[in-house]
Structure 1
C-alpha cells in the first residue's frame, strides 16, 4: 500500500504556532516511518498553500515556526520532490465521491477511496488535531444510480501506522515482481513470453506497477464473465460499461490514424502460433510518466484466449 496525505485535515484549525509545529512534526515523522518500510507519503502540490490558521497558509506559518533544516525538508517534499498524487490521479472531476455527506472529489480522501474501489491499496495520513481523526473513513461512490461504499484506513498515530506497515503485504519492488504476480494471479490471460520486456530499462515505479495490475485484473475478470452459451454475463456488461466506454475509460481502441501510422509497431508475434501475427490496437491505459499501455487481443470471447502481448511505454507517442 501507499499513503496519501489528507489535504482536508488542514482546515484553518490552528490558533497557535506551537500546536501547528507539533502537528507538522508528527506528519514528518509518519513520513519517515513510511520510508523505513519502503513506502511513499504522497501529497498534493497545492497543500503548501492550505489555510493553516484563519489568516495564514502553511508556507507562511512554516517559515515562522520551523528552523531552517526543518523548513527545507518540509518544503522540498511539498513543493519539489513529492511524490504528488495528482501526477498519477485515477479519479476525475466528474466522479461523485462522498464522505460524511460531503463531496470529496478531487481530494486525497477521494483519490484513496477511488483507488481502493479498483483494487489499488491506498491509506491516508491526517493532521492531528483536525476534524479527520476517525478511522476508517467511509466513502460512497455514486455512479449511474448505484452507490458503492469503501472504508479508507486513516492514520495519525505513529505506533498504529508502524504496526500496520509491519504486517502489510510486501509491495512490488521491480518489473520482474510485476510480471511474476500477473502471471500467477491472472490465469484467464495468456501472456506473450516477451510481453513485459518493454519495461526493461525504465525506472520502476510501485504506483505504476499497481495500476498496471489493476488493469490486468479487469481484463482477467472480463474474460471470466461468460455463461455456458458463450454470452457475456450481466457482470461482464457492467465491467465493459464502466471501463471500456466513456471519456475516462481505462481501455480503448487506437484511432484510425494511429492504426495506420503505427501499424508495424502494433503488430505482434502470435504467442502460441509461430509465424503468425496479431494486430493489437486495443489497450489499457496508465497515465504515468511516461504513459504506460497494455496491448491485448480483441474482441474478448468466451472460447478464444485473451492474449496480452505488450506491457510498457505508450507505443503511439508522437
Structure 2
C-alpha cells in the first residue's frame, strides 16, 4: 500500500492556517511513529508550492512560522528527504488524467490513479474544503483526453489522519509473542543487527505483554534512525546529534550506560557473543522499559566503520542482585 498527498486538493481554502497546520502536525507525528508511513506516504516535489490560502503557498507559510521545529521538520520532508512521487513515477503510456475536468496528471492523485489502473494498492490523502470537493471516497478519475476517454478509475481516498493511522495498523498484524516481535523488528529496522534473541531462555520464561512489545519497537526505531542518519563513513549528521541530545542525555534519557559499579559487578552478564561476525562485546548501554524492568542492550558506541548496530539482549534487567 502507498499513500499519496493530493496536492490538487490544496486550493487556497485555509483562510486560517491553524487547521492546515494541525493536519501537518498529525502527519508528521505518524511519520515519526510509523516507519511504514515514513516510507510509503509520498508527495510531489512541487507540493511545498501548493496554495494554502489566498496569499500563501506551503513554503511561504512555513518561512515565517514561529515554530522552528515544525518548519524544519516539514521542509526536511517536503524539500529534501521525501520520498517523492517524481523519483519513482509509475509508467503509463497514455499519461493524462482528470478529476472533474481538472488536469491532475502530475499530482499525487494522478500517481494514485496510475497505480490504481495497474491494480497496485494506493490511496490519496486529501485536504478538506475548497471549490472542488475532495473529501469523498472514492475519487472517480478520468483517464485520457476529454475527446478520447480511455477509462475511469475509482481511487481510494481519505482526509483524516486517524484513518491513515488505522490503515497503517492494518498492514501488519501486531506481534503476539517474543518471536513475532523480533521478526517484526528485523523487517522494520534495516540498520540494526538483531540475532536470535528469542532463543534466550531468560526471555522465553517471561510472559509476553503488548505494552512491552510497543516500547521495544519504539526504542529500536530510535536506534535504527540514528544509524541511518550517519554517512557512509560513520560521521554523524545533524539529525544523528539531535537523536543523541534527545534520547541519550538528561534525566529522562531513554538510553543510558550502566554505572561504573554495575559495570564492575555485573560485567560477566553484559558480555555477549556477536551473532554477526566474530568476537565478544561488553554491552552495558541499554534502552529502558520501566514496566517489569525490561532492558534492551546494544552495541555502543558504534565505531565509524560499522554500518549496522547490533542488538544483544532483550529481557529483564541484568543488574539485579
TM-score, reference length from structure 1? 0.48
Q: TM-score, normalised by structure 2?
A: 0.47
Q: Higher Cα Rg: structure 1 or 2? A: 2
